[in-house]
């Protein structure tokens, strides 16, 4: 029998066959995901995070687009483009942006903010500053 879960305490991994598997959010979340799902080939992670501060780094997803939806608060999603950064303002709950595959991005927040993510996890990288295409 199905029971309700909460995205704040249980993330979901969706594989290439669209099977969904819940994953409890614990202190060992990332190690457990690595152990259970390997390199995430063909899988996506549905997750939610809350932020009080700007993201401390940039990230990129080389194997697919990422869906980012504002649940509460407000955020500026900064996308690194070859000709300069693009800022997408998310101000209304339910507003979202699709981060194109291979695009470095980060977020700035001025108020407590919660967001929902659908992330192609394979090959995700993080760094202090984005790499820019020549």
Query: Does residue 85 fall inside a structural domain?
Result: yes
132, part of any domain: no
E strand or H helix at 61: none
The confidence score (pLDDT) of residue 132 equals: 64
Domain presence at residue 4: no
Per-residue pLDDT tens over the stretch 36-72: 888 788 899 999 999 999 999 999 999 999 999 999 9
Residue 1 included in any domain: no
Distance from C-alpha of 82 to C-alpha of 99, rounded to nearest angstrom: 15
What pLDDT is attached to residue 40?
Answer: 80
Query: Which tokens is 29 given?
Result: 């979340």
Tell me how far apart the alpha carbons of residues 76 and 108 are, in angstroms, rounded to a whole number: 5
Q: State the CATH number of the domain containing residue 59.
A: 2.60.120.10
Q: Say what the pLDDT of residue 134 is.
A: 42
The answer to whether 133 and 64 are in contact (CB under 8 A) is no
pLDDT in tens, the chain (134 residues): 688 999 999 999 999 899 999 999 999 988 888 888 887 888 999 999 999 999 999 999 999 999 999 999 999 999 999 899 999 999 999 999 999 999 999 999 999 999 999 999 888 888 988 766 54
Q: What is the pLDDT of residue 2?
A: 82
How many domains, in total, are found in the chain?
1
Residues 6+ apart with CB under 8 A from 44: 13, 14, 64, 118, 119, 120, 121
pTM for the full predicted model = 0.90
Tell me, yes or no, whether 45 lies in a domain: yes
* Domain-located, residue 36: yes
The pLDDT assigned to 37 comes to 86
Edge-first strand order for the sheet with 96-99 is 20-24, 10-14, 44-51, 113-120, 66-72, 96-99
């Amino acid at each position: 029998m199905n029971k309700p879960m909460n995205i704040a305490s249980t993330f979901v991994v969706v594989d290439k066959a669209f099977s969904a598997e819940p994953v409890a959010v614990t202190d060992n979340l990332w190690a457990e995901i690595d152990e259970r799902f390997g390199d995430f080939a063909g899988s996506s992670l549905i997750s939610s995070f809350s932020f009080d501060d700007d993201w401390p780094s940039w990230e990129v997803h080389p194997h697919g687009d990422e869906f980012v939806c504002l649940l509460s608060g407000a955020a500026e999603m900064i996308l690194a483009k070859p000709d300069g950064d693009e800022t997408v303002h998310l101000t209304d709950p339910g507003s979202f942006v699709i981060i194109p595959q291979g695009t470095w991005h980060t977020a700035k927040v001025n108020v407590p903010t919660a967001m929902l993510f659908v992330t192609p996890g394979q090959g995700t990288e993080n760094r202090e500053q984005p790499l820019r295409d020549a």
